[in-house]
């Protein structure tokens, strides 16, 4: 039997119109929240809410050209943007997705994500309308 490619849920990402306000809401609940980090290659500023069993990534667009800005145009109050799963080998995971008819967004090559590790995104049209991020551990 083949070993599963997905190992763990890394985080749930939520697009927000006001990153500081959203982070404050989680801090008020006693959660640890990281400092904001700009990710120009992805067009976002992020913080992570760290929980004992996973993380929540809060995303705010860097500018109007960001995919998150487009998401917030359709969902002005914000909402769940994607799920991120950990994989041991990003290239093997990408090849497996492609073999199964899934489109990889962008140029198809991994980019460095918020945790400094390679990531890819699978087209939500191929995953029941849910954007899926894979991050190499």
Span 25-82, pLDDT tens digits: 999 999 999 999 999 999 999 999 999 999 999 999 999 999 999 999 999 999 999 9
pTM equals 0.93
Task: Look up the CATH number of the domain holding residue 41.
Answer: 3.10.180.10
Question: Which pLDDT score is estimated for 5?
Answer: 84
Tell me the sheet residues that pair with 9.
85
Q: Measuring CA to CA, how many Å separate 26 from each of 36, 70, 77, 83?
A: 14, 24, 16, 19
Tens digit of each residue's pLDDT (9 = 90 or more) over 113-122: 999 999 999 9
Given pLDDT bands bounded at 50, 70 and 90, which one contains residue 2?
Answer: low
Q: Which domain holds residue 25?
A: 6-136
35 is an active site residue:
no
Q: Is residue 1 part of a domain?
A: no
Question: What's the whole-number average pLDDT of the chain?
Answer: 95
The residue from 35, 57, 86, 133 that is catalytic is 133
């Amino acid at each position: 039997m083949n070993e599963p490619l997905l190992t763990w849920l890394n985080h749930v990402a939520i697009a927000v119109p006001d990153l500081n306000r959203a982070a404050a809401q989680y801090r008020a609940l006693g959660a640890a929240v990281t400092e904001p980090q700009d990710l120009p290659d992805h067009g976002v500023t992020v913080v992570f809410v760290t929980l004992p069993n996973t993380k929540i990534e809060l995303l705010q667009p860097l500018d109007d050209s960001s995919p998150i800005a487009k998401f917030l145009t359709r969902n002005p109050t914000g909402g769940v943007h994607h799920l991120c799963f950990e994989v041991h080998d990003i290239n093997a995971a990408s090849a497996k997705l492609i073999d199964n008819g899934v489109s990889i967004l962008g140029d198809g090559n991994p980019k460095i994500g918020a945790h400094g590790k390679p990531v890819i995104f699978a087209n939500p049209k191929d995953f029941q309308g849910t954007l899926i991020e894979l991050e190499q551990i």
